[in-house]
């Protein structure tokens, strides 16, 4: 793992897997959270982007960072897809790849989560069926890590938050216009626990042959 121009990390999938096994806390704290994402030409463009997002959501820019494939150049998703889909892990970023945003702010988290839980109560969550029930279960799993994801929200919940995100043109700051996917966490410890869980799942599934080894 080498820090190169503009604060970007030069990291291969094999190096990441090895770091996930031997130094997961160092990998999370000093690589996956810090540094300039691959899709931004300069560190200052990245700072401008974070300021734009923070201004739109009224969250301090220091509480926001880019995670996922646009950060390191490839996916580390530990999810095992249903056939005939192929695993996403190790897949390089493309022009269509989303920018995954992590927002770490207790007030913002509780604002979003409270609105979700009120909607679930009003709509009798225990009666959900099909895709609606699957999304409800996914939101409950995320809540174990004090996390909310914007793409798992019901259509009528947190509309102003999602409208603000959609108004941000990423092409003003990075290489292409990319969709934004937002993960909201209550605190940094919750985020780190989620990263630790995902990295552990990734290592176990690669070693068990359920996910492909890094190229």
CB 202 within 8 A of CB 78: yes
What does the pLDDT read at residue 175? 86
Helix (H) or strand (E) holding 113: helix 106-122
Instruction: Name which residue leads in pLDDT, 127 or 183.
Output: 183
For residue 121, CA distances in Å to 6, 118, 134, 160 come to 47, 5, 16, 21
> ω before 104 within 30° of 0 (cis)?
no
pLDDT of 1 > 70? The answer is: no
pLDDT of 160 > 70? The answer is: yes
- Report pTM: 0.92
Q: Per the domain annotation, does 213 fall within a domain?
A: no
* Residue 69 CB burial class (10 angstroms; 0-12, 13-18, ≥19): buried
What's the pLDDT tens digit per position in 6-26? 899 999 999 999 999 999 999
**How many domains does the chain contain in total?**
1
Q: Per the domain annotation, does 49 fall within a domain?
A: yes
pLDDT of 124 > 90? The answer is: no
**Number of residues written out for the chain:** 215
What does the pLDDT read at residue 80? 93
* Residue 125 CB burial class (10 angstroms; 0-12, 13-18, ≥19): middle
What does the pLDDT read at residue 198? 97
Q: Is residue 24 left, alpha or beta, with left meaning phi > 0 and alpha meaning psi from -120 to 50?
A: alpha
Q: Per the domain annotation, does 212 fall within a domain?
A: no
CA 162 to CA 180: how far, in whole Å? 10
- What is the mean predicted confidence (pLDDT) over 123-151? 91
pLDDT of 68 > 90? The answer is: yes
Q: Six-digit token pair at 5?
A: 């121009």
- What is the mean predicted confidence (pLDDT) over 171-194? 95
Q: Count other C-beta atoms under 10 Å from residue 139's C-beta.
A: 20
What does the pLDDT read at residue 47? 96
Average pLDDT for the chain:
94
- Among residues 186, 21, 43, 12, the alpha carbon closest in space to that of 111 is found at 186
Q: Taking the mean position of all CA atoms in its chain, how far away is CA 153?
A: 15
SS3 176: coil
What does the pLDDT read at residue 154? 86
What's the pLDDT tens digit per position in 43-58? 999 999 999 999 999 9
SS3 helix, strand, coil % of the chain, rounded to 5? 50, 10, 35
Q: Per the domain annotation, does 215 fall within a domain?
A: no
Residue-number span of the structural domain to which 89 is assigned: 2-207
Q: Per the domain annotation, does 214 fall within a domain?
A: no
SS3 67: strand
Spatial CB neighbours of 140, under 8 Å, sequence gap ≥ 6: none
Q: Per the domain annotation, does 60 fall within a domain?
A: yes
């Amino acid at each position: 793992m080498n820090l190169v121009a503009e604060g970007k990390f030069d990291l291969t999938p094999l190096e990441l897997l090895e770091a996930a096994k031997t130094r997961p806390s160092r990998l999370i704290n000093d690589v996956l959270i810090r540094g300039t994402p691959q899709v931004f030409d300069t560190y200052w463009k990245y700072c401008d982007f974070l300021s734009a997002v923070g201004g739109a959501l009224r969250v301090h820019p220091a509480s926001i960072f880019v995670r996922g494939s646009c950060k390191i150049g490839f996916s580390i998703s530990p999810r095992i897809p249903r056939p005939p889909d192929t695993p996403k892990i190790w897949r390089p970023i493309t022009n269509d790849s989303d920018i995954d945003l992590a927002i770490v702010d207790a007030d913002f988290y509780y604002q979003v989560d409270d609105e979700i839980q009120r909607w679930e109560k009003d709509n009798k969550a225990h009666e959900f069926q099909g895709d609606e029930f699957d999304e409800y279960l996914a939101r409950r799993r995320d809540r174990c890590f004090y996390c909310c994801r914007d793409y798992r929200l019901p259509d009528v919940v947190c509309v102003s938050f999602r409208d603000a995100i959609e108004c941000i043109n990423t092409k003003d700051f990075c290489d292409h216009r990319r969709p934004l996917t937002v993960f909201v966490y209550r605190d940094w410890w919750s985020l780190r626990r989620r990263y630790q869980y995902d990295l552990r799942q990734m290592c176990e599934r690669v070693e068990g042959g359920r996910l492909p080894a890094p190229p």
